[in-house]
Amino acid sequence: MAIPSITDALTNTVLSFSLPPEAIRNLTAQIHQDILAHSRHIWHSDFTAIHPEDLEFLFGAYDQRFLAGNCRLALNGRQIRFRLSPRMTSAGGKTTRFLARTGEVHYEIAIASSMLFDGFRSTDRRTSVCGINCDNRLEALQRLFEHELVHLIELFCWETSNCSASRFQSIARRLFLHQAHTHSLVTRRERAAASGILPGSHVSFEFEGLRLRGRVNRVTKRATVLVEDPGGQKHSDDSRYKTYYVPIARLLAE
């Protein structure tokens, strides 16, 4: 007789999951209210502070309400870390399986906190995550976390995960009603572009009491600005530039 693996219960739960859409929406709404009631940092839906322990809370809440606790059981004593990333500026999250030289495995779920805090201003366009419209940061956080949770489930059950593949999208759709595997959160690059700050744009900024002028080379969390300087590094146009990393809010388009 074959001995069931530690992940069989999770696999069976995921593949057999079937609830009406309204029941799924009720479960996610309950989790929304649970974190508002229990978090030491998230006090309202458009929160201004968050802590990795909030992601850990979401993991437990989703595991209990959707997966009968089988996701934590599938860890089988292995470590899982929850991290907030202020450096991620395009991907909303990332789930990683780490394999040490000793053979020990551990996992990490990271969420792009900068993208959550950069968006949801009163004048912003409507945003969606995983094909679902989000009216506030907490709704967006839940959709991002759900997406990463499906990655984790696939890593537990099949050791590989690909959100553009049919298996992932089927699981995400049945568990969480996701209609897409991408997001349309407002990015810093989009916000900068709306202010006329794009790669190639000429800008000015204050640095150590001086007004410097240069050209934007790249926009991520900050703008990379090249300023002509005889003591700088030579570039392909045969000019010499010094490189400055400037917060977008400090730039003026010229």
Whether residue 64 is found in the same domain as residue 14: yes
Whether residue 247 is found in the same domain as residue 145: no
Whether residue 79 is found in the same domain as residue 150: yes
- Out of 54-63, 100-109, 126-135, 229-238, the most confident range is 54-63
Strand partners, 225: 216, 244
Q: Which of 154, 169, 186 is the last residue of a domain?
A: 186
Whether residue 195 is found in the same domain as residue 174: no
Whether residue 142 is found in the same domain as residue 245: no
Whether the predicted pLDDT of 91 surpasses 90 = no
- Split at pLDDT 50, 70, 90, the class of 75 is very high
Range of the domain at 39: 8-186
13-23: pLDDT as tens digits = 999 999 999 99
214-248: pLDDT as tens digits = 999 988 778 899 999 998 888 888 899 999 998 88
Whether residue 126 is found in the same domain as residue 224: no
With respect to residue 195, please indicate whether it lies within any of the assigned structural domains: yes
- Whole-prediction pTM value? 0.78
Whether residue 101 is found in the same domain as residue 156: yes
Domain count for the chain: 2
- pLDDT attached to residue 92: 86
Give strand ranges (E) for 35-168.
Answer: 80-85, 93-99, 105-112, 127-129, 132-134
Whether residue 205 is found in the same domain as residue 166: no
Whether residue 203 is found in the same domain as residue 99: no
Whether residue 65 is found in the same domain as residue 160: yes
What's the whole-number mean pLDDT along residues 98-125? 87
Question: What average pLDDT does the structure give for the chain?
Answer: 90
Q: Which of 186, 214, 239 is the last residue of a domain?
A: 186
DSSP string, 166-221: HHHHHHHHHHH----S-B-PPPHHHHHHHTT--TT-EEEEEETTEEEEEEEEEESS
Whether residue 161 is found in the same domain as residue 39: yes
State the greatest distance between any 2 C-alpha atoms of the chain, in Å, as a whole number: 77
CATH at 249: 2.30.30
Whether residue 229 is found in the same domain as residue 161: no
